């Protein structure tokens, strides 16, 4: 790659050119103002951030969300997570290779401040869709709130979502792009003076005296809430396979952070592992950023995400390999290819079915786990606590917004506000928004061949109805007004406004216009790719819902009306025999997804389970077969779970190995959680002042033991 920044995007504005200078291993590089170190390094073509002290293995990013420590570097002498620290002018950055040597600091250099203790009615941990929605309700009720988030910007994962949301327009802004929903929620929260917002602040622990430790922009604060709301979201699950820690293997959320938040192009050729909504959406975002998506594999016979997300990918030219698993990520120091294989009915790899694809990035999108440490500890210590969003139950962001809304009202009432009970309709709506994809029905193709009418290429029951709300004629309906149903056209006069085509989050509606007569039909198709890629007069390949090629047609007109919200509406002239089947325009050529001639064979037991301490599956299995049933004993013997991430990534992988070895969950003693849930400079607990003169070196010195697993 020669250009590591996105220069053109259909949805996102291109930010200013980099102006800050910093050094990496003595080499001067450039970064944008406010950009994190990890994104700045990626934008300069650097994906290996250091090497593990145990075996010299190269390390890069994995989560880009502060949950692991794979992206750690030394910045101005301080070991930091590069995904959480913004670049500063003149910053000196070097790899974290081995254990850093930091300067000696004398006692005379220390300066202290008293630890602040703050009482508040409600403390909200997490400024994502659930936390913001709860804060709005609490703000309305006049409840005193402190909302804490570890990022500079509020919105959580909404910040990364460039696609339009499903659900209901009235309940959760369906048809609006996630990033815009985040801005709307933040703007509303900031209108309430009784809601204080702490960004760039980390919740560290819940203590037995029912106080919560917060590191607020480098200063330690103890907060005593009457009620705690945990809206901390979810962390991505990992997966055990050979090469799973190579630079270039990372989570879908990390990829979306690089691409959609920081406008970095981290890849040329991408392969996705996992067919849930997260993986399907990430693959679509990659295409929008000009990245080739070589393919996606899913272990189940069908993708678990919404069918419209899957269909959208295949009709753009991305193959989906169901009943397949990843065997290995391959490369010398960084990802160069990926090998997948077919699974039989017993979930065993079918010998000889391996295929290897050339790629430089492997996205792992195999599910999410609630970030619920604070919730569990608050319950242990008797602190009144509620949870919302993914911290309560993994679901879509639309559901997180609504559960946050419900929890806000519940907390306000618990604190004595006269808000009344939560309306029963709210609970029904929340249940619908949490619902998993329902039945798939046969796509109905209209028989009419006159006038103007929409064709609905969505054939799965999911919570979504913006098309029924947006139609000015009231011509689109869902049977029984059930948001989970499939829309139909009730044969009223269509005025060809194309608003239904533009608003559909799944890009699953086309509009057919037979009014010209003759042997061609005008078909309006939604298109969310840069305008420079398509113009009137071009020839394009059109595909049906399942990705089957229907033929080549001419583009009649391309427009981007304001109501389409950055999307384009492309009119093509199509023959009568294929017009109704057209569901999309191919954006990627078939040769992109061809497998390589050579295959990489699977190697057992050398896969890494604990990323921080480089503990393999073979080491874990040997201890289990020797009779170990206590994960704390495994930790003491192998160091699995003892690393800087605090045992956030590997426990579920270790439990899976127990199950593979025939050990029941009831026989396993789980890890004892650390009292502090993230790395923190030890000096913070003593009130060490940071940021001025020699005291900055104190912060460096105090950070070392915490960073290297001392906590």
Q: Which domains does the chain have, with CATH numbers?
A: 116-234+370-434 (3.50.50.60), 238-366 (3.50.50.60), 452-592 (no CATH), 608-667 (1.10.10)
Q: Give the C-alpha separation, 40 to 673, whole Å.
A: 34
Six token digits for residue 449? 């061949």
How many Cβ atoms sit within 10 Å of the Cβ of residue 70?
29
Query: Which residue stretches of the chain have pLDDT < 50?
Result: 1, 602-603, 691-711
Residue 56: closest CA among 238, 245, 239, 240: 245
Strands 145-148 and 195-198: parallel
Would you call 109 helix, strand, or coil by DSSP?
helix
Phi, psi of 23 (to 5 degrees): -120, 145
Would you call 684 helix, strand, or coil by DSSP?
helix
Q: With residue 476 as reference, give the H or E element that holds it.
A: strand 476-478
Helices (H), 359-513: 373-380, 397-414, 424-434, 466-470, 499-503
Q: Could you tell me which residues come within 8 angstroms of residue 348 by beta carbon, excluding any fewer than 6 positions away?
A: none
Q: Could you tell me which residues come within 8 angstroms of residue 423 by beta carbon, excluding any fewer than 6 positions away?
A: none
> Is the CB of residue 398 less than 8 Å from the CB of residue 413?
no
Q: Is the dihedral of CA 223, 228, 232, 237 positive or negative?
A: positive
Phi, psi of 280 (to 5 degrees): -65, -45
HEC profile of 9-36: CCCCCCCCCCCEEEEECCEEEEECCCCE
Residue with tokens 């003491």: 636
> Is the CB of residue 331 less than 8 Å from the CB of residue 247?
no
Quote the DSSP letter at residue 138. H
Would you call 37 helix, strand, or coil by DSSP?
helix
pLDDT in tens, 144-187: 999 999 988 999 999 999 999 988 888 788 899 999 999 999 99
Q: Give the C-alpha separation, 434 to 646, whole Å.
A: 30
- As to burial, measured by CB atoms within 10 angstroms (0-12 exposed, 13-18 middle, 19+ buried), residue 86 is middle
How many Cβ atoms sit within 10 Å of the Cβ of residue 700?
20
Q: Could you tell me which residues come within 8 angstroms of residue 301 by beta carbon, excluding any fewer than 6 positions away?
A: 322, 323
Would you call 197 helix, strand, or coil by DSSP?
strand
Average pLDDT, the chain: 88
Residues shown for the chain: 711
CA distances from 306 to 248, 368, 545 (A): 27, 16, 13
> Is the CB of residue 682 less than 8 Å from the CB of residue 654?
no
Residue 105: closest CA among 709, 693, 706: 693
Q: Give the C-alpha separation, 138 to 414, whole Å.
A: 11
Q: With residue 363 as reference, give the H or E element that holds it.
A: strand 361-364
> Is the CB of residue 306 less than 8 Å from the CB of residue 316?
no
Q: Give the C-alpha separation, 689 to 711, whole Å.
A: 21
Residue 654: closest CA among 675, 670, 637: 670
> Is the CB of residue 287 less than 8 Å from the CB of residue 587?
yes
Six token digits for residue 538? 């071009």
Phi, psi of 5 (to 5 degrees): -120, 150
Which of 296-329 are b and which e, b meaning 16 or more Cβ less than 10 Å from the residue's Cβ?
bbbbeeebbbbbbbbbbbbbbbbbbbbbbbbbbb
Q: Is the dihedral of CA 657, 658, 664, 665 positive or negative?
A: negative
| 381 Rama class: left (phi>0) / alpha (psi -120 to 50) / beta | alpha
Give the DSSP letter string of 482-521.
-TTS-EEE--PPP----HHHHH-TT--EEEEE-TT-TTEE
> Is the CB of residue 564 less than 8 Å from the CB of residue 10?
no
Q: With residue 314 as reference, give the H or E element that holds it.
A: helix 307-314
Helices (H), 537-638: 576-579, 617-625, 631-638
> Is the CB of residue 229 less than 8 Å from the CB of residue 411?
yes
Residue 410: closest CA among 186, 142, 125, 137: 137
Q: Give the C-alpha separation, 446 to 192, whole Å.
A: 50
Q: Give the C-alpha separation, 414 to 350, whole Å.
A: 56
Q: Give the C-alpha separation, 575 to 524, whole Å.
A: 14
Q: Give the C-alpha separation, 233 to 395, whole Å.
A: 10
| 400 Rama class: left (phi>0) / alpha (psi -120 to 50) / beta | alpha
Which of 546-571 are b and which e, b meaning 16 or more Cβ less than 10 Å from the residue's Cβ?
ebeebeebebbebeeeeebbbbbbbb
Q: Give the C-alpha separation, 394 to 305, whole Å.
A: 13
Q: Could you tell me which residues come within 8 angstroms of residue 290 by beta carbon, excluding any fewer than 6 positions away?
A: 6, 8, 265, 530
User: Looking at residue 701, what is its pLDDT?
Assistant: 37
Q: Give the C-alpha separation, 7 to 177, whole Å.
A: 21
Phi, psi of 687 (to 5 degrees): 80, 25
């Amino acid at each position: 790659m020669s250009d590591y920044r996105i220069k053109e995007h259909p949805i996102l504005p291109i930010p200013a050119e980099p102006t800050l200078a910093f050094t990496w291993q003595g080499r001067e590089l450039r970064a944008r103002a406010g950009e994190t170190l990890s994104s700045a390094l990626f934008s300069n073509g650097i994906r290996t951030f250091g090497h593990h002290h145990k075996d010299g293995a190269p390390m890069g990013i994995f989560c880009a969300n502060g949950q692991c420590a794979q992206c750690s570097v030394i910045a101005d002498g301080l070991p930091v997570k590069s995904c959480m620290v913004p670049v500063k002018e003149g910053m000196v950055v070097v790899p974290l290779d081995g254990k850093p040597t930091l300067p000696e600091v004398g006692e005379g250099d220390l300066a202290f401040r008293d630890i602040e203790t703050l009482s508040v009615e409600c403390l909200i941990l997490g400024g994502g869709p659930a936390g913001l929605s709860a804060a709005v309700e609490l703000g309305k009720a006049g409840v005193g709130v402190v909302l804490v988030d570890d990022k500079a910007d509020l919105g959580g994962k909404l910040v990364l979502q460039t696609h339009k949301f499903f659900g209901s327009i009235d309940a959760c802004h369906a048809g609006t792009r996630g990033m815009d929903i985040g801005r709307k929620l933040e703007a509303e929260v900031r209108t309430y003076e009784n809601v204080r917002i702490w960004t760039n602040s980390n919740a560290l622990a819940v203590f037995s005296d029912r106080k919560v430790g917060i590191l607020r922009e480098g200063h330690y604060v103890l907060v005593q809430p009457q009620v705690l709301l945990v809206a901390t979201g979810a962390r991505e699950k990992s997966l055990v396979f050979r090469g799973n820690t190579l630079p270039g293997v990372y989570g879908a959320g990390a990829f979306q952070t690089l691409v959609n938040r920081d406008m970095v192009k981290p890849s040329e050729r991408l392969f996705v592992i996992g067919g849930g909504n997260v993986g399907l959406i990430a693959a679509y975002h990659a295409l929008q950023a000009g990245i080739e998506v070589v393919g996606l594999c899913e272990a189940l016979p069908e993708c678990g995400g919404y069918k419209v997300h899957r269909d959208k990918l295949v009709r753009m030219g991305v193959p989906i390999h169901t009943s397949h698993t990843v065997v290995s990520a391959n490369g010398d120091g960084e990802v160069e290819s990926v090998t997948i294989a077919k699974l039989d009915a017993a979930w065993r790899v079918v010998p000889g079915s391996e295929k290897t694809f050339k790629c430089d990035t492997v996205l792992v999108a195999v599910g999410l786990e609630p970030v619920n440490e604070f919730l569990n500890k608050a319950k242990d210590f008797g602190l009144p606590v509620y949870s919302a969003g993914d911290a309560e139950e993994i679901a879509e962001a639309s559901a997180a917004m609504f559960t946050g809304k419900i929890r806000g009202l519940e907390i306000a009432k618990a604190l004595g506000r006269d808000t009344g009970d939560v309306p029963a309709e709210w609970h029904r709506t929340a249940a619908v928004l949490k619902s998993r994809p329902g039945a798939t029905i046969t796509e109905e193709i209209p028989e009419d061949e006159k006038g103007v009418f929409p064709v609905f290429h969505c054939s799965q029951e999911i919570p979504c109805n913006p098309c029924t709300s947006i139609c000015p004629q009231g011509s689109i309906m869902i049977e029984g007004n059930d948001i989970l149903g499939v829309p139909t056209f009730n044969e009223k006069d269509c005025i060809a406004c194309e608003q239904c085509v533009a608003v559909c989050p799944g890009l699953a509606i086309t509009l057919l216009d037979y009014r010209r007569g003759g042997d061609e039909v005008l078909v309006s198709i939604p298109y969310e790719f840069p305008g420079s890629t398509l113009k009137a007069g071009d020839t394009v390949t059109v595909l049906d819902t399942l990705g089957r090629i229907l033929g080549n047609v001419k583009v009649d007109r391309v427009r981007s009306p304001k109501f389409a919200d950055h999307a384009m509406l492309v009119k093509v002239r199509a023959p009568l025999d294929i017009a109704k089947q057209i569901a999309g325009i191919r954006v990627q050529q078939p040769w992109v997804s061809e497998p390589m001639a050579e295959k990489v064979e699977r190697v057992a037991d050398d896969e890494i389970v604990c990323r921080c301490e480089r503990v393999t599956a073979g080491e874990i299995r040997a201890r289990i077969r020797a009779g170990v049933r206590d994960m704390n004993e495994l930790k003491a013997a192998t160091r699995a779970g003892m690393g800087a991430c605090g045992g956030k990534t590997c426990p579920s992988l270790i439990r899976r190995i127990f199950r593979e070895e025939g050990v029941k969950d009831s026989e396993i003693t789980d890890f004892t959680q650390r009292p502090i849930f993230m790395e923190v400079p030890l000096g913070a607990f003593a009130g060490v002042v940071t940021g001025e003169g020699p005291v900055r070196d104190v912060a460096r010195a105090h950070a070392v033991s915490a960073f290297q697993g001392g906590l």
